[in-house]
Amino acid sequence: METDKLKRIFRQYLLGQTGEKEAGAIDNWYQSFDSEFVTPLSPEEEESVRLEIWQRIYPELGKKKVHYLRRSLAAAAAVLLLLAGGLTYYLVNKSNPAYTEVTTAVGQRKTIQLADGSQLTLNAGSIVRIPKDMRKERRLNIVDGEVFFDVKGEPSVPFIVESGPLTTTVLGTSFNVTAYKEVNRMSVAVTDGKVSVQRTGSTAAVLVKDQALTYDRAKNNTTIDAIDKSLLGWRQGSMVLNDASFEDMVVLMQKNFGIMLTTSQLRVRQTRYTTELSTDMDPVKAAEVLAAIHNLKIEVTGHVVTLYE
């Protein structure tokens, strides 16, 4: 993994054990900050910051440079932050300290109360950015995942949820936003009240109670239908697949059960998956049930489950 390789290089650098190429690349990286102004990061940039750092360093590994060890306090602090997995948090909060990031781990669900009285419930594997001062701005950003909102009305300060290309605006309502970055379908489903949903570059659509808007990233189209309330079953501890592609199913199984599904068979990859699984199930048992429903078999190797006919 690139992140692990990057951590190893920085550890060796602090100990004076890096080769001349690696040390030169790290020196160049530190020097680049002297002339660069730190600008606020978008959610997408936050997610890819570690990859961007690696992409800067990697091309330099092929260049020759005299090795010398820089043990300045700033360099050491930056490396320690990275080794602690906190570089993204540090950069984001330095450039935009008005937001707090809330996350859920694999299989975890979390309910939080906002200062304005609104309540958020996060599904597994979700990341949400929330303004610290809700009196000035109620604009939240779903970086990844799925969130159910129970919003308290405040006409003077609209409640806005950004989720990739979709922006949802409400005054007081309950609704669900599905916006997993690696899942093809995004959706906004209203259980009470009314919301306005706007996709980048298009006109806004108004949704009322029991309506849902679905955006297909691959087809770049939007549909509005009656809400499928079974898809909200995650709040009661269920993972629901409704005509999901193999790729989307893989993401949701990993988020909810921490296992990686794979296959070498084209027919299995082309199958659409529909089922409901309790998230309290043993991960392998959940995979067995999923496979049995679709007349498939499984082979388990560690955390990897292979599906086959």
CATH code where residue 255 lies: 3.55.50.30
Query: pTM for the whole thing?
Result: 0.66
pLDDT of residue 90: 45
Contact 147, 122 (CB under 8 A): yes
Q: Which of 95, 128, 163 is the last residue of a domain?
A: 95
Q: Which of 95, 126, 147 is the last residue of a domain?
A: 95
Contact 217, 185 (CB under 8 A): yes
Phi, psi of 55 (to 5 degrees): -65, -25
- What's the longest Cα–Cα distance across the chain? 66
104 and 222 assigned to the same domain: yes
Query: Which residues fall within 8 angstroms of residue 231, CB to CB, at 6 or more apart?
Result: 176, 178, 187, 189, 240, 242
248 and 292 assigned to the same domain: yes
Q: Which of 197, 231, 265 is the last residue of a domain?
A: 231
Domain count, the chain: 3
Q: Which domain holds residue 127?
A: 99-231
CA distance 296 to 132: 48
CATH code where residue 208 lies: 2.60.120.1440
110 and 188 assigned to the same domain: yes
Give me the tens of pLDDT residue by residue for the chain, a chain 309 residues long.
455 666 667 666 666 667 777 777 766 665 655 544 444 555 555 555 555 555 555 454 444 443 333 344 444 444 444 444 445 444 444 444 488 999 999 999 999 999 888 999 999 999 999 998 888 789 999 999 999 999 988 878 889 999 999 999 997 799 999 999 999 999 999 999 999 999 998 888 999 999 999 999 999 999 999 999 888 999 999 999 999 999 999 999 999 999 999 999 999 999 999 999 999 999 999 999 999 999 999 999 999 999 999
224 and 241 assigned to the same domain: no
End-to-end CA distance of the chain: 31
pLDDT of residue 115: 86
26 and 85 assigned to the same domain: yes
225 and 105 assigned to the same domain: yes
226 and 103 assigned to the same domain: yes
104 and 174 assigned to the same domain: yes
